[in-house]
Amino acid sequence: MTKPGNNFFRNKIWVRRFAQLFFFGLIALISVNHTLSESGLSIPFLANASLHALCPFGGVVTIYQYATEGTFVQKIHESSFILMIIGFLLAILFGPVFCGWVCPLGTVQEWFAALGRKLFGKKRYNHFIPARIDRVLRYLRYLVLAWVVYMTATSGTLVFANIDPYYALFNFWTSEVAVGGLIVLGVTLLASLFVERPWCKYACPYGAVLGLFNLVRVFGIRRQESTCTLCGACDRNCPMNINVSSKSVIRDHQCISCLECTSEARCPVNATVVFATAGFAAKSETKGE
């Protein structure tokens, strides 16, 4: 048995924090630079593109128009289409790493979650909503996805921008943000004090798309039943409230590949909850017999 955090892989968990900070800072700088460029000023080494050009979900909502007319939805650029493809390829290999490692809105929700844990304690935080209600709410994001795709396809406009908390987060100082977006952002941040990643769990349409890749991903979260002590550490530390200890392979549509449940992060038993392919996990199981 080893203590979590005493091996090299734990450094990869630290790398996730670094990646989150990097992408948050990058998007923030690009957003500020876009505002500066409109007044004739800009930071030379940064792109001055709008956030619409840097959002992979923009590629998702423009698929219909691109397939039928060969054009992009208003405000959507080719870069969004390319980022969408990259996001899908990463999801096929590693699951929704965009959600757990890249998305700045997810990062901000985690920061508010840290405050929520201090206010309510680790045992109470993230458990305010009854499990039976929570299970139903988690499918709301697929309704949001269907609505956004349908409305964008029929209107040819980026309707989601009016309520998008991600866009509001990095443009709240400009006149481009709709009041609806600011309201949704405020509600998301307030809810993050009680529930970890509420937008990701219940409303994010892009998270809904990437979550489907958990069914077919190559590398996944796998639990070795032969060495598991059922201590529940993986369950307690999963930000998405997935019952890792009851499964051998995590294919839950809410998994964000944050790796916080793994042996190298929280599980106290070495090589018990791992991020690996099916073949690697099978070899580990055999060696343990």
Q: For residue range 221-242, list pLDDT tens digits in order.
A: 999 999 999 999 999 999 999 9
pLDDT category at 254 given cuts 50, 70, 90 is very high
Encoded tokens for 122: 């680790």
Which is it for the CA torsion 229, 233, 235, 240, positive or negative?
negative
Read off the tokens for 159. Answer: 């309707």
Mean pLDDT within 63-81: 85
pLDDT at 15: 87
pLDDT tens for each residue of 92-114 = 999 999 999 999 999 999 999 99
Digit-coded pLDDT (tens) for 8-57 = 444 457 889 999 999 999 999 888 887 777 666 767 656 666 777 788 99
Distance CA(106)–CA(190), nearest Å, equals 14
* pLDDT per position as a tens digit, 177-229: 899 999 999 999 999 999 999 999 999 999 999 999 999 999 999 999 999 99
207's CB contacts (< 8 A; 6+ apart) are 96, 99, 141, 200, 256
pLDDT band at 4 (very low <50, low <70, confident <90, very high): very low
Residue type, 191: A
Phi-psi region of 95 (alpha: psi -120 to 50; beta: other; left: phi over 0): left
CA pair distance 80, 285, nearest whole angstrom: 41
Mean pLDDT of 82-90: 94
Picking from 212, 93, 73, 223, the residue whose alpha carbon sits closest to that of residue 151 is: 73
pLDDT in tens, 124-142: 999 999 999 999 999 999 9
- Distances from the Cα of 199 to the Cα of 56, 143, 242, 257, angstroms: 17, 14, 16, 17
Q: What is the pLDDT of residue 76?
A: 82
Average pLDDT over every residue of 242-257:
95
Q: Beta-carbon neighbour count of residue 218 at 10 Å?
A: 12
Amino acid at 233: A
β-pair partners for 274: 222
Q: Is residue 280 very low, low, confident or very high in pLDDT (cuts 50, 70, 90)?
A: low
Residue 6 has pLDDT above 70, yes or no: no
d(C-alpha 142, C-alpha 28), whole Å: 28
pLDDT value for 1: 42
Higher pLDDT, 281 or 256: 256
Residue entry with tokens 């790493």: 97
Residue whose tokens read 């009016």? 162
